[in-house]
Amino acid sequence: MRPKNLAKEEAIRLIALQIISEEGLENLSMQKLAKAANISPRTIYIKYENKEDLLIKLFIDEVLGKYEKAILENFDPKMAFADGMKRLWLNTFHYLRNNKPAFSLIRYGKSSPLLNKAFQDKNIQQGAFFAPIHTFLKTNVQAGLIPDLPHDVHSALLFSPIQDLVAEYFDHLDRPVQIITEKVILTSCEIVIKGILK
């Protein structure tokens, strides 16, 4: 791909993320994106089939890798369960509260059947991302500390609450008092830890 085309594609992605951050995922349209990027909609449709295709590619190419790197910062799968969970939750909170477009795409990804199709098309297997977390959970299952459940069930029990708390954080940005603080995150994490430990 020529440098000019690469720059144009990067601009499209950055502007899409900016629209998502400022106006919300539901307000992103290909026409709005084309106008903001000062290009014709046809140019966008050369690279992306439709809005869903754009969102999936943004999620896989722009969000997943950065999200994984941020969450795993200073995390070791050999950590004690409580310490590891607190590190993962704090990392998640710090990354997502500063990356609203990433958060919007992650939420979209959880509710979209298209994401599973995208993973299949790109041959992304479970465990290709966040492998240290898979190892961490398996280790704690083998040690008899947490129940032996499918990985997706562990993820739902352990990590869906932090994403819901981040959603509350964004909801409270426009309110007089921010109720979602680091202290609230840690207290909530401790409740989840107590709930899953045998």
Q: What is the pLDDT of residues 22-42, one digit of tens each?
A: 888 888 899 999 999 888 888
Whether the Cβ atoms of residue 106 and residue 163 lie closer than 8 Å to each other: yes
Query: Is position 53 within any domain?
Result: no
pLDDT for the residue numbered 64: 82
**pTM for the full predicted model:** 0.83
Query: Is position 52 within any domain?
Result: no
Range of the domain at 2: 1-47
Average pLDDT of the chain is 87
For residue 112, what pLDDT band results from cuts at 50, 70 and 90? low
For residues 42 and 67, membership in a common domain is answered with no
Q: What is the pLDDT of residues 132-191, one digit of tens each?
A: 999 999 999 999 999 999 988 999 999 999 999 999 999 999 899 999 999 999 999 999
For residues 27 and 67, membership in a common domain is answered with no
For residues 96 and 23, membership in a common domain is answered with no
Distance between CA 137 and CA 85 in Å, rounded?
10
Q: How many structural domains comprise the chain?
A: 2
